[in-house]
Chains A and B, each alone.
Chain A
């Protein structure tokens, strides 16, 4: 059983970069944990911190917070991440979705998501909301001008809105039901045990 999602009202954090790959969301050297928790500390690690390399390749460098990066800017906050198109491309690491969730985000808005990330997010109670390029551009600009802009993500009506702007978004009916009720895919698959068993025997 996961968190249930119906309607979320929150301010948002804007990252306008496009093609944000999962190596940026959580670099590979932080994938050594064997639990799902604690990845939020390393969300966008190499964008959040500047690295001053050590004097030789063998020596560790020093990390200092990068004040220019949006997560280090206290005027932005909230449970919604708004990002440029093709968000979550690259590696299938679910740690990216765990890091986003662990940091406190429940929604990611973009005009385009990579397939595996989209599935991983949905499996972890993080809702990927696909909006048009124009809607995304205006939303990013609005948040940058006014960081206290409140955005409403309504999964029941499949609508995202702020100020006088709103747009419907698509989500498949099955995944919507899972999010609203906090169901896992595995519950549905386990209910098919008999059919799967028969299939396995017939195909071995």
Chain B
């Protein structure tokens, strides 16, 4: 009965002061949106990050650290320390524990984007997210030696379409002075956006990479030794080496066994890594700053709550008469104090609700743009347990903060006589 009255009085009182309180509520809403948004985004980004590559059980490369291998094969950051000989790759193919192998050959670039030499196995077996395959938005996967498939971002950034001619550059880097001008490629297909580094890469056949490097053995084109595209096609375009390989193992239980065998491979020093483990390790290194970010937003919310308490405290002066009336009518000091707690709580709940709405609307509106512009895949999903906990923490903090005006009101209404505060 008393609580019901306190609630209905609080609601009426809040509505009465809506003009003053709207601004504080807005501040609170924005800060809660920020808090929730940061938590949501960091979960999503982590999810998206750790799902950059899926379905691949092992990544094999020349002997190196697992982060290095992960960085250059999946994220196209940095360079391989060494290559895998083609014989070794062929040898792996004969291992019946391994179900599929995707060769990856790195080294060239197109306007700063990595050129990945591979086969049609890449399109078949490279998965990301929750096992989604990469798909072609337009055109088809390369079949000819001089055909190229562009990642979504590459195509949109340079406004390429199927059929365009593309000249690859030798080596990495944004501006290369040695271009494979004699051997242009034709765009055969453009990939749909994935939100992974795939969007930033360019895919050609292993043979294509061989072909453009005929006569480039010393690192630059040696006049007289280069060939025309037609001549190149006549040659044997089997590569001598590749950079790395993605390994698929259907019987997962054998993964560690294969990994151990590859790490002890007798032909040449190799490293085999579990992409999931390497990704988590990488995230642990990069994920530190997001904790700091979350801590900052917690302080932002606390600041707005203190602001709310300050507004309620300053309104207390105006409310003296109203409190006197309630007291005279028989309301206990506890009820008066309760009014402040409930008002603070209700405002915060309203702000939380608004923040949920604003957040959901914001993500819905911004996610297509994020995927297009930054290749970030942020989907709308129900809140996780942690996020609900964080959200629930806000009204809890509000109740704590509201004790400040509440206790003040409780104490002064205990001392107050009948009528105005200073009527004696």
Whether chains A and B associate is: no
